[in-house]
Structure 1
Amino acid sequence: MQHPDLSGDYHPEPAILALAPWLASPVEAADFPETRIRFRNDRAAASLGLAGLGDAEWAAHFGRFQPLPGNLPQPLALKYHGHQFRVYNPEIGDGRGFLFAQVRDGRGRLMDLGTKGSGTTPYSRAGDGRLTLKGAVREILATEMLEALGVNTSKTFSVIETGENLWRNDEPSPTRSAVLVRLSHSHIRIGTFQRLLAIEDAEAMASLVDYCLTQFPGPPPPADAPAREEPAVRLMHNVVERMADLAASYMVAGFVHGVLNTDNMNVTGESFDYGPWRWLPEWEPGFTAAYFDHAGLYAFGRQPEALHWNCGQLAVALRLLADSAPLIAALERFGPLYMEAVSRRWCWRLGVEPQGLEADTQLVAACEQAMREARAQPDVFFFAHRGGRGDPQGEFGAALANYRAAPDTHPYWQDERPQSLLIEEVEAIWDAIDRDDDWGPLHAKVEALRRMGAAHGTPPAAAGHAALA
C-alpha cells in the first residue's frame, strides 16, 4: 500500500537483500530522546519521490527509522575490513551507521539511504554509535560545497537533532547529538572486497562483483585490455576510472578529505564520510586536514597517490577471482586517466574551453605556480580569472592567452567575492547554532553554495561516470 505522503515517483527496491546474509547484520536504531528536524534536503528527496513527506513522517522515517513502504524491513549494518592509514584492520564495519533503504531515483538509478550516528551495532567496538551535531553540520557544508564544485559526492539528505549529550576528546564537551542520513549510489567499499578476500569467500566475491556491475554500470574496458570480458576485470577498470576522476576533482576543488582509508572508498567513486576535512587557505600540497595525520599521508598533494594505492588494494582483493596481469593493466590506467581528469576539470572551473591534453597540462602547471607564488586562496584565484578575466602575468598569462572563454551568464560571476568554505567560516556557522540556536547562517550558506553550483554548471564527467552522475 502506497504511503499517503509518497508520490508515484517513489520506487523502492531493496536489492541489497540478495547479498545481506553475508554482507550485513540486521540492527535496531537507537531510541533517541527527541527528534528535531534541523535539515531536510528536499531537492534530493524530490529525486526519490520523498519530498512530499510531512515533518512528522520525515522524523519517523529518518529519526526513528520506521521502515519506508516496500523497503528494507530492518536496517543493515554492513561488514567490511580496511586499511586505516595503511594499517590493515579486520575489526571494523558500520559502527555508528547502517543502510536504511534503497530507492530508484527519477533516472532509474539505485540509490542508498545510509546513516551516521544511528546507534551501536555489532561493529561499534568501544564507540557509542553517536554523531555530534557539529559533525552533522560540517557534513552538510562539505557535501553542499563539493557538489557545487562538481565533485562526485554523497548528499546530506537529513539531519535530526536527537537530544543527547555527547563527550568527545576533540570537541568541547558535553556537546549536542544528531543523526544524519546520507544519499549515495552505494555503500560498497573497497574494504567490503578486502573482507571477502580475508575470509576467502570467492562465491560471495563473485556475487558482489555482479551486483556492482549490474547496479553501477560503467563503460567497457579499452579494446586492447587483457581479459576485458571477465567481470572482476571489468569492475576494476570501472573503479580505476572513477577513482582517478575523484582524485582530480579533489585537487581542482582545493579540498582535503583527511581520511582516505580503504573503508572510506566507495566503488562508485563517490566521496563520502566527512570528518576532519578542510579547504585550502592557499595552494600548499603539504596541507593536511586531520590533526592525527602526523606523517602527512593524506595531505592535499598526496591524495591522488592515496586513491591509486587504494585501487591497488582492490586489485589484490580481486585476485580471488582473476589473474594479476589484467588487474594490473587496469591499475596502470590510473595515472593517465587522472591527468586527463585534472585537465578536463581545471578548464571547466576556470571557464575556458579545453585545447588538448598537452596544452591543458601546461595551463594547469602555470596556474599552480601562480597560486604558489601569490599564496592565493584557490577559490579566489579561480573566481578572479574565470573566463579569462583578471590580469594574469608571467607563464600563467601566456598560457591563458591561448584559451577561449566559455560564456558566463550567471550573475554569480559578478559578485564581489566567491563562495568559499574555510575553517573560520565553518566555525562561525557552528558558533551561531551552538550559542544562539541560530540556523540562519547555515541555511543561507547552503543557498549560496547551490547558487554557486548553478553558476558552474555540470562538470565534464569521465565516461565511467556516465551512468552514475
Structure 2
Amino acid sequence: MPSQPQAADYSADPVILEVAAWLADPVKAADFPKTELRFRNDRWDKAVGLDGINDDKFTTYFGHFEPLPDNLKEPLAMRYHGHQFRTYNPDIGDGRGFLFGQLRDGSGRLLDFGTKGSGTTPYSRTADGRLTLKGGVREILATEMLEALGANTSKTFAIIETGEELQRGDEPSPTRSAVMTRLSHGHIRIGSFQRLAVLEEEDHLRALIDYSLKHFPGPLPPEDASGREEPAIILLHQVIERMADLAASYMVAGFVHGVLNTDNMNISGESFDYGPWRWLPSWAPGFTAAYFDQTGLYAFGRQPEAIHWNCGQLAISFSQIADRDALVGALERFGPLYQEAMANRWLWRLGVKPKGTESDTKVLEASEQTMRDAKIGPDEFFFQYRGGRDATGALADALKPYVTTDSDHPYWSEGAPVSMLIDEVETLWSAIAERDDWQPLYDKVAAIRRMGEALGAAPVPAGHL
C-alpha cells in the first residue's frame, strides 16, 4: 500500500506567528456570492481531525474562512520575492491566496492550509485575486496524480464554487469561479529568503532559517561537509536533498510543472501551485507545458537543471551570512543525489528492486530507448513492462539480474494504465462546464487513488517531509 494519511485528532499550532510580523500581512477573504462545495478530500480531512464536521461547517471554514478553533484569528498573505523565468521580481507575494491556518498531523508534522482564489491582497496589483473553477479542477487532478505516483506534493483539500463570472484572456470567458484550499508542509519559499536578503534584513534572514530548521527538521549534513554546524549550511543541505528528490519524482512521473520559479519552490521540498502542467504523451525531453515558455526554460528534460538553479539562488541569499565555499559544497551534492533518487524511483515504478550499482543506470538508459523506439510515454511504459514482463532486447538484458517486487494488485492485469493527458483533462472539464456533471471527475480521482494503491509507497530519502 502507498503511504496513507493516518487518522488524527485536530491539533492547531499557528507557529507562523513567530515570524509573521515581518513575513506576512493580515488580510480578509472575499465575500463570495455563493459557496457550493464541489470537492472535499476525504482522505486528508481525517489526517487533520476535520472528518467529523459536516459539509455545511466545512464550507463555513473553507468557503467563508471562519477561523478554525484555536488557530489564526485572521488570514496572512505571505511576503516574498522571486525569479520568474530567471528575471528577478521584487513586486510579488501572495496575490490571490493566504495562509489560513496551521496544525499538526498524527506524526507531529506541521501542515498549512493555504488558499488560491480567496480574494485580493496587498500583492494583487491589477489582478482580481480569483481562481477559475477549471483551475481548481486541474489542481485536483495534478495533486491526486502526483500523490499516487509518489511525488511529494501539496494536497487539494477543498474546492468550493463561488458564483462569480471571471474574465480571462487565455480561456473562454466568462468562466466560473472557485476558491481552493491546499494542505501542505509549509509555505516558506526560496523567494521568502530572497526577499530578506535583498532588503538586507539579516536578523530576519537568520530567524527564518531557525524557524525552518525547527519546524521542518531534517538530517545534519554529511560529516565531511564544510560548515556543517552553521544553521544556513544545514538548511541548504536539507533543501538540496529534498529538491533533488523532487526533481527525480517529476521525471519518473513524466510530469512537467511548467512554472518552476523561485517563488514556487517550497523549502520543505514539496511541490505546489499547479498552473500550466502537463504529463508527457511520449518521452520527449523538450516537451513544454506553458505556451508562454518560448525558450523551453522549464521543458521536461530541463526541470532538474531549473530546480538546481533555484537552489543556487537560495545559496546566494545565504551568502551574506554563511561561508561561500560551504554553500558551494552543498550545491555540488545535487547531481549525485538526483541520480540516486532517479534510480530508486525509476526502479520502484518499474516494479523491481534497485541494486545501487551501475546496472541501475543501464536499466534507465534501456527504458528511455524503449520509450523512444515505441513512441510511448512513461505511463504506458511502466505499465506494460511492470516487473520486466514483456521486456525484449536491451531492456530485457538490463533487467535480468533484478528481483521483481510484488505486482499482485489487479490493476496490473487491466488493459491500460491510468494516465493524465491533456485530452482527458479537457473532457473531464467539459462534463462540468456543459452539463454540470462532476461524476467523471470523481471517478477519475478514485481510479488514480487505486493506481496509487497498486504502486505502493515510493522510496524517499531521510528527512523527506
Q: TM-score range by the shorter chain?
A: over 0.9
Residue 438 of structure 1 aligns with which residue? 437
2:313 pairs with 1:313: yes
Deviation at 1:311? 0.2
Q: Distance in 1 between matches of 2:154 and 2:24?
A: 21
- Deviation string, structure 1 residues 108-146 (Cα, Å, up to 9, x no partner): 111000000000000001110000000000000000000
Residue 426 of structure 2 aligns with which residue? 427
- Deviation string, structure 1 residues 372-423 (Cα, Å, up to 9, x no partner): 1111121011001001112x22221210122111121211111111100000
Residue 4 of structure 1 aligns with which residue? none
Any unmatched runs of 5+ in structure 1? 1-6
Q: Distance in 2 between matches of 1:462 and 1:361?
A: 19
Residue 323 of structure 2 aligns with which residue? 323
Residue 66 of structure 1 aligns with which residue? 66
**What's the secondary structure of 2:463's corresponding residue?**
helix
Q: How many residues align?
A: 459
Residue 20 of structure 2 aligns with which residue? 20
Q: Distance in 2 between matches of 1:41 and 1:418?
A: 23
Deviation at 1:8? 7.8
**What's the secondary structure of 1:454's corresponding residue?**
helix
2:157 pairs with 1:142: no
**What's the secondary structure of 1:303's corresponding residue?**
helix
Q: Distance in 2 between matches of 1:297 and 1:316?
A: 21
Amino acid of the structure 1 residue aligned with 2:34 = E
Q: Distance in 2 between matches of 1:422 and 1:385?
A: 20
Counterparts of 1:336-375 in structure 2 under 5 Å?
Answer: 336-375=336-375
Q: Distance in 1 between matches of 2:240 and 2:56?
A: 42
362-371 vs 129-138, which moves further: 362-371
8 A Cα contact 1:340 1:357, kept in partner: no
Runs of 4+ in 1 over 4 A off after TM superposition: none
Q: Distance in 2 between matches of 1:101 and 1:442?
A: 28
Q: Distance in 2 between matches of 1:357 and 1:215?
A: 35
Amino acid of the structure 1 residue aligned with 2:304 = P
2:287 pairs with 1:301: no
Residue 82 of structure 1 aligns with which residue? 82
Counterparts of 1:105-184 in structure 2 under 5 Å?
Answer: 105-184=105-184
8 A Cα contact 2:8 2:105, kept in partner: no
Q: Distance in 2 between matches of 1:343 and 1:446?
A: 28
- Deviation string, structure 1 residues 264-322 (Cα, Å, up to 9, x no partner): 00001111000000000000000000000000000000000000000000000011320
Q: Distance in 1 between matches of 2:377 and 2:11?
A: 43
Q: Distance in 2 between matches of 1:376 and 1:335?
A: 27
2:48 pairs with 1:33: no
2:268 pairs with 1:262: no
Amino acid of the structure 2 residue aligned with 1:256 = V
- Deviation string, structure 1 residues 207-262 (Cα, Å, up to 9, x no partner): 11111111111111000000101100000000000000000000000000000000
Residue 202 of structure 2 aligns with which residue? 202
Q: Distance in 1 between matches of 2:370 and 2:463?
A: 32
Residue 3 of structure 1 aligns with which residue? none
Amino acid of the structure 1 residue aligned with 2:416 = R
Residue 456 of structure 2 aligns with which residue? 457
Q: Distance in 2 between matches of 1:228 and 1:93?
A: 31
Q: Distance in 1 between matches of 2:269 and 2:75?
A: 24
Amino acid of the structure 2 residue aligned with 1:299 = A
2:253 pairs with 1:217: no
Which gives a bigger RCO, structure 1 or 2 (Cα 8 Å, sep 6+)? 2
Any unmatched runs of 5+ in structure 2? 1-6
**What's the secondary structure of 2:178's corresponding residue?**
strand
Residue 399 of structure 2 aligns with which residue? 400
Q: Distance in 2 between matches of 1:429 and 1:90?
A: 37
Amino acid of the structure 1 residue aligned with 2:256 = V
8 A Cα contact 1:343 1:357, kept in partner: no
Q: Distance in 2 between matches of 1:56 and 1:355?
A: 51
Q: Distance in 1 between matches of 2:428 and 2:109?
A: 34
Q: Distance in 2 between matches of 1:43 and 1:320?
A: 43
Q: Distance in 1 between matches of 2:445 and 2:286?
A: 29
**What's the secondary structure of 2:111's corresponding residue?**
strand
Q: Distance in 2 between matches of 1:67 and 1:331?
A: 41
The alignment's TM-score, normalised by the length of structure 2, stands at: 0.98
